[in-house]
Amino acid sequence: IRDIRGIRVGSSNSWFNPESRSMVTRFVPKQNRGVFIISSGHYSQEDGEVSSDITKPAVVRKYNNTMYGVDMVDEMLATYYAIFPTRRWPVRVFFHLVHTVAYNAFVLFTLKFPNWRKKDCSKRLIALRQLIDLLIIPQVQRRKQHSSSEQLQVRRSWDIVLNVFASPVHNVLPLPRAVPDEQEGNTNPQPRRPEIVQHQERRMRKRCDICVRPSTVRRISQAKCCRCNRFICNDHRYIWCDHCTEQRYVD
């Protein structure tokens, strides 16, 4: 399907899937340039063919007429788009679908309740954060209850996540209710969710306190001993895991 070398300019081909009732159309507008469109709204041979009076298939013309909506969705998704760098295209497609579903859910909710935070410019961010909380909390609780072989650091991270979700600061904003505030007679706007900004302290760099070398050799390190707080280099420090550290102090 992707091999378009030697294909005549202006030609098109279509492939159909009877189970999902979808169609894949390949259109060649220029030499060695192909356009591939997957559609579930077109399922006929005429939608993917090119005739003498029509230079583009029906599915391509339909996309060109409605491509403004596609560009608008891409622009809205780029505002709060979070994905780690990866070369695996299934992972990128999955994350793109998750972002698209979250945005569609926000659009449907605002259409049903147009008065919900009507004057709040950050209502999409608030709804997105609350949706993330609803998706994360059950999974973390399930893994914490049914998994006892995880590392100590992982279990501590679960406790931190659950404590953050249960904190009063995190629950300042209530979840979207079925009845807007205007229908309940409450005209006071709800307080915005405060931003939690963690300022990372800049770590100091000093010479190793254990190294005994001439003044011309300087070993600068940021690592410090957890007991005496002296700066140490890589040659004078040891790495302990949480399990061995606890066993050492217990023994």
- Report the alpha-carbon distance of residue 160 to residue 196 in Å, rounded: 15
Last residue in a domain, options 78, 113, 132: 78
Domain assignment present for 193: no
Instruction: Answer yes or no: do 176 and 89 share one domain.
Output: yes
R_g over Cα of the chain: 29
Domain assignment present for 6: no
Domain assignment present for 195: no
Q: What is the pTM of this model?
A: 0.46
Domain assignment present for 186: no
Three-class SS string for 225-246? CCCCCCECCHHHCCCCCHHHHH
Instruction: Answer yes or no: do 33 and 63 share one domain.
Output: yes
Instruction: Answer yes or no: do 176 and 90 share one domain.
Output: yes
Instruction: Answer yes or no: do 73 and 92 share one domain.
Output: no
Per-residue pLDDT, averaged over 170-184, amounts to 43
Segments forming the whole domain that contains residue 212? 206-250
Query: What integer pLDDT is reported at residue 139 of this predicted model?
Result: 79
Element (H, E) at 221: strand 220-221
Instruction: Answer yes or no: do 18 and 60 share one domain.
Output: yes
Query: What integer pLDDT is reported at residue 33 of this predicted model?
Result: 83
Domain assignment present for 5: no
Query: What integer pLDDT is reported at residue 181 of this predicted model?
Result: 44
Of residues 112 and 148, more confidence is placed in: 112
Q: DSSP 3-state assignment of 62?
A: helix
Specify the number of domains making up the chain.
3
Q: DSSP 3-state assignment of 36?
A: strand
Q: What is the pLDDT of residues 121-131, one digit of tens each?
A: 888 888 888 88
Last residue in a domain, options 32, 58, 78: 78
Query: What integer pLDDT is reported at residue 51 of this predicted model?
Result: 54
Instruction: Answer yes or no: do 97 and 57 share one domain.
Output: no
Domain assignment present for 198: no
Domain assignment present for 187: no
Domain assignment present for 50: yes
pLDDT above 50: residue 227:
yes
Instruction: Answer yes or no: do 155 and 138 share one domain.
Output: yes
Of residues 148 and 135, more confidence is placed in: 135
Per-residue pLDDT, averaged over 166-195, amounts to 44
Q: Could you tell me which of 54, 44, 46, 24 has the C-alpha nearest to residue 36?
A: 24
If one counts every other C-beta atom within 10 angstroms of the C-beta of residue 99, the result is: 19
Instruction: Answer yes or no: do 234 and 220 share one domain.
Output: yes
Per-residue pLDDT, averaged over 60-85, amounts to 82
Query: What integer pLDDT is reported at residue 15 of this predicted model?
Result: 82
